[in-house]
Amino acid sequence: MTVDIKWAELGFEYMNLPYRWRAYWKDGEWYKSGLETENTIQIEEGAPILHYGQGAFEGLKAFKTKEGDIQIFRPDQNAKRLNASAARLVMPEVPEEDFIHAVKEVVKANAEYVPPYGTGASFYLRPTLIGVGDNIGVHAAKEYIFTVFAMPVGPYFKGGMVPTAFTTSEFDRAAPHGTGAAKVGGNYAGSLQPGIEAREKGYSDVVYLDPATHTKIEEVGSANFFGIEKDTNKFVTPKSPSILPSITKYSLLWLAQHRLGLEVEEGDVYIDDLDRFSEAGACGTAAVISPVSFITHNDHKHVFYSETEVGPITKKLYDELVGIQNGDVEAPEGWIVKV
């Protein structure tokens, strides 16, 4: 079957594909799983996901290679992170092998929707775990649904990888010792207002500072931050218990050290010490890398490499990672799962 999709015109939008994977949990075990065709989920009005936000999700991608093979990028890491989020919200674990099996089955069942090599588009998967069942008290659900749905998405950078601007915010993304390290819906719901306000002022999104002191960078919008240190070219990224551990960031950390031969560091990145960096970027599944042109903080504008051009190390990291995802560059062991 050939689908009629203009791959070059795809954005990052929902699409109702023929198949998704569902598994159901009750009485201490996963009791049913398989492909389903219905894109709606019927849940009880007392479901904890609705009232208390007991739910977590993931995002990962599959790619078609030049040879026509389909491969998934690091699904084991998404499985581990989902289970870390589940533990924080007192939800049952989805066994890693079951997670990877579900992702592979969704890709295979919807294979005609995986964008062709060279289009710049990819196949985005959204695994989700939610608490359901009859409930009204503030306690963990007695039933859960694990679902994986997917859709083709276009390249994040329609006009090429162009640097964009960010501004700091007085809002906090997450509380100290809260759920910042878990991929849960409340973290994103709380980011909507500051994100809208930043875009109304002409910025791409906001830079969130640490909630305790508001002196250190934590995240950039819904992505992790990195900087390339002047003179040393060291790859530096923030470390904090309230930052979501980005799979893209840790992939870039490895590539910076082992493929580009750079020194790497996870540590404090102070907002008043941006002069130490010649380049900066935000990284995540959707964009891979979004170069940061400048950050405005307390009415001071700090420009990194350029307001219009991508820095050379940022570009090398982007090309290396995208090359691995598309099958053009040899992947480190275990990073690629063939479908």
Q: CATH number for the domain including 228?
A: 3.20.10.10
Same domain? 16 vs 60: yes
Other Cβ atoms less than 10 A from the Cβ of 204: the count is: 18
Same domain? 273 vs 310: yes
Same domain? 80 vs 185: no
Against a cut of 0.85, is the pTM above it? yes
CATH number for 112 = 3.30.470.10
pLDDT (tens, 9 = 90+) of the chain, 339 residues, equals 678 999 999 999 999 999 999 999 999 999 999 999 999 999 999 999 999 999 999 999 999 999 999 999 999 999 999 999 999 999 999 999 999 999 999 999 999 999 999 999 999 999 999 999 999 999 999 999 999 999 999 988 777 789 999 999 999 999 999 999 999 999 999 999 999 999 999 999 999 999 999 999 999 999 999 999 999 999 999 999 999 999 999 999 999 999 999 999 999 999 999 999 999 999 999 989 999 999 999 999 999 999 999 999 999 999 999 999 999 999 999 999 999
Same domain? 114 vs 11: yes
Q: Which of 94, 119, 154 is at the close of a domain? A: 154
Residue 244 CA to residue 252 CA, distance in Å, equals 15
Residue 59 CA to residue 36 CA, distance in Å, equals 20
Q: Identify whether 262 is part of a domain.
A: yes
Q: Which residues contact 254 (CB under 8 A, 6 or more apart)?
A: 332
State the total domains in the chain: 2
> Domain range holding 129?
7-154
Same domain? 79 vs 178: no
* CA quadruple 336, 313, 262, 216: dihedral sign: negative
Same domain? 150 vs 22: yes
227, containing H or E segment? strand 223-229
CB 128 within 8 A of CB 118: no
Q: Which of 154, 176, 205 is at the close of a domain? A: 154
C-alpha of 289 from chain center: 11
Same domain? 178 vs 319: yes
Same domain? 49 vs 149: yes
Which amino acid, 118? G
